Amino acid sequence: GSRELTALHCLAGTKESAFVYAVTAAGLVHAVTRSCSAGNVTECSCDTKLQGGGSASEGWHWGGCSDDIHYGMSFSRSFLDVPIRNASGKSGNGLLAMNLHNNEAGRQAVAKLMSVDCRCHGVSGSCAVKTCWKTMSSFEKIGRFLKDKYENSIQISDKLKRKLRRKEKSQRKIPIQKEDLLYVNKSPNYCVEDQKLGIPGTQGRECNRTSDGPDGCNLLCCGRGYNTHVVRHVERCECKFIWCCYVRCRRCETMTDVHTCK
């Protein structure tokens, strides 16, 4: 609805939006490449260029199905970037250039985290012959990498030009890497509800009293403190199979503390 649209507009150019662009572009590369390797797409397949290669002296050769990300990369570019380029027109809107950069950062993460898996063959796993293939990392690992990039994202100058540059003047000499996530606008305060921006705030959120992470009461409740309620769970327990044929259980009660942000 229009509320989501306003929210999207207001959050434009923040780190959170940078992460969403990157993770979406990476996800598309990942999913398309998986389909290529599964033989589900006519335009692409496993990486055939590697077949037959390897190193006989080191005792391994390429085999199996190596993930070929090229088709997925170009699919992600034409699906996600072309509409942005079209919208930006000749004037070269800087915010759009930044979104393009963040899309590419996501794709580069998939490429960077490619790895090689091998399997041994030979008498009782002696590894006399090894077959190796290239494989993408799990999307979970790619997500963690991008989360790290999000936490270290770079604020760029809001005098957006075609060439993106850091806001911090003293750091302008440090080049911006392809994998860096970029933002212009500071994030709004996610702690307090803001209906106009579509931010629910953290009041009433369940938190973990002993965690130092983002789910911990300290961080999640933004220093407002938390309420503790005791919640009673009733479940079936100590179930026994009785011959023949039914199961008899007891009812067990457990009490757990649940903490919610003030």
Ligand X SMILES: *[C@@H]1O[C@H](CO)[C@@H](O)[C@H](O)[C@H]1NC(C)=O
- List residues near ligand X by CB under 6 A: 34-35, 38, 40, 82-83, 86, 208, 210-211
Q: CB of residue 132 vs ligand X: minimum separation in angstroms?
A: 21
Q: Tokens 């990392």 sit at which residue?
A: 137
Give the nearer residue to ligand X in terms of CB position, either 35 or 135.
35
Q: CB of residue 31 vs ligand X: minimum separation in angstroms?
A: 7
Enter the tokens of residue 69: 């990300």
Q: CB of residue 35 vs ligand X: minimum separation in angstroms?
A: 4
Give the nearer residue to ligand X in terms of CB position, either 35 or 157.
35
Give the nearer residue to ligand X in terms of CB position, either 54 or 64.
64
Give the nearer residue to ligand X in terms of CB position, either 40 or 171.
40
Give the nearer residue to ligand X in terms of CB position, either 158 or 206.
206
Q: CB of residue 86 vs ligand X: minimum separation in angstroms?
A: 4
Give the nearer residue to ligand X in terms of CB position, either 69 or 182.
69
Enter the tokens of residue 72: 């997925």
Using DSSP's 3-state secondary structure scheme, residue 229 falls into: strand
**If you write DSSP's letter for every residue of 8-60 in order, what string do you get?**
HHHHTTSHHHHHHHHHHHHHHHHHHHHHHHTT--TT--S-GGGTT-EETTTTE
How many beta carbons lie within 10 A of that of residue 90, not counting itself?
4
* Count helices and strands in the chain by DSSP H and E runs: 7, 9
18-41 burial: b if 16+ Cβ within 10 Å, else e: bbbbbbebbbbbbebbeebbeeeb
Long-range contacts of 151-157 (CB under 8 A, 24+ apart): 152/180, 152/181, 153/15, 153/18, 153/19, 153/180, 153/181, 153/182, 153/183, 154/180, 154/181, 154/182, 154/183, 155/182, 155/183, 155/184, 155/186, 156/98, 156/182, 156/183, 156/184, 157/184
Give the nearer residue to ligand X in terms of CB position, either 34 or 147.
34
Give the nearer residue to ligand X in terms of CB position, either 56 or 255.
255
Q: CB of residue 217 vs ligand X: minimum separation in angstroms?
A: 10
Q: CB of residue 210 vs ligand X: minimum separation in angstroms?
A: 5
Q: CB of residue 179 vs ligand X: minimum separation in angstroms?
A: 26
Q: CB of residue 259 vs ligand X: minimum separation in angstroms?
A: 10
C-alpha span between 32 and 200 (Å, rounded) = 34
